[in-house]
Amino acid sequence: MFTGIIESVGKVKAMQPVGGDIRLTIESDDLDFSDVSLGDSIASNGICLTVVDLGSNYYAVDVSRETIARTALEDLKSGHLVNLEKAMLPTTRFGGHIVAGHVDGVGVVSKLEKDARSIYIEIELPQELAHYTATKGSITLDGISLTTNLVRDNIVCLNIIPHTAQVTNIAKHWLLGSKINIEVDIVARYLERLLNKSQTGTMNAPSPQSKITENFLADNGFMK
């Protein structure tokens, strides 16, 4: 589980094809690796990946074909900057929103311009993800927890403040046409599931008949 608050920006050191998958190695001189162990999860551009190799300033992960197909990962190249966040601890300040690190799809930067000191950005989402977003709601873009200004059909509009642009890969890598990993609000997904179940009647099935009777309670000392 993550919060979408980026801890560091890493750099792609290597992308090695291995039997149809990819072994991705990312290095960072700023991320604290002292509490990272093999098997831990690190969100890399919003993708929850498992550490399989570890050094003093780098980690490596194996990326499956499913993850490659669902994300913008295959567009990464050696030297590209990647947003990093270690899995949250119970004591971590929850500064963003609930982020699972499970990318739902890939969006495209359709507009990008200066807006006073911030950057105004529009992201075109896959149509099937648009209904999970809402104006002033939360969305995860390349692992960054962001608040939407406005949702217009399948376009999400945002303002990126200078601090966020500086401590993430936005300022250097987000350009018109850039592909962005999208994770919608997980709460919206669960609500949709609950509503669909309710409408089909599955969740309204009668409860099993209780076998606890007044005589049973009396016989077992619960009633006098």
Q: Is the pLDDT of residue 86 over 70?
A: yes
Residue 83: name the closest of 210, 171, 178, 147 by CA. 171
Average pLDDT over residues 43-55: 97
Question: Tens of pLDDT along 52-81?
Answer: 999 999 999 999 999 999 999 988 999 999
- For residue 173, which phi and psi values (nearest 5 degrees)? -120, -15
Asked if domains 8-86 and 105-202 share a fold, the reply is yes
- Asked: is 105-202 a CATH 3.40.50.300 domain? The reply is no
Question: Tens of pLDDT along 150-193?
Answer: 999 999 999 999 999 999 999 999 999 999 999 998 888 888 88
What CATH architecture is 8-86? Answer: Beta Barrel (2.40)
Number of helices (H), then strands (E), in the chain: 5, 13
Residue 100: name the closest of 189, 195, 38 by CA. 189
Domain ranges of the chain: 8-86, 105-202
Q: Is the pLDDT of residue 33 over 70?
A: yes
What integer best gives the mean pLDDT of the chain?
89
d(C-alpha 153, C-alpha 11), whole Å = 34
Residue 84: name the closest of 170, 7, 195 by CA. 7
The residues that bridge with 158 in the sheet, in sequence order, are 121
Within 10 angstroms of residue 106's Cβ, the number of other Cβ atoms is: 18
In this structure, are residues 100 and 3 in contact, taking their beta carbons and an 8 Å threshold? no
Q: Is the pLDDT of residue 84 over 80?
A: yes
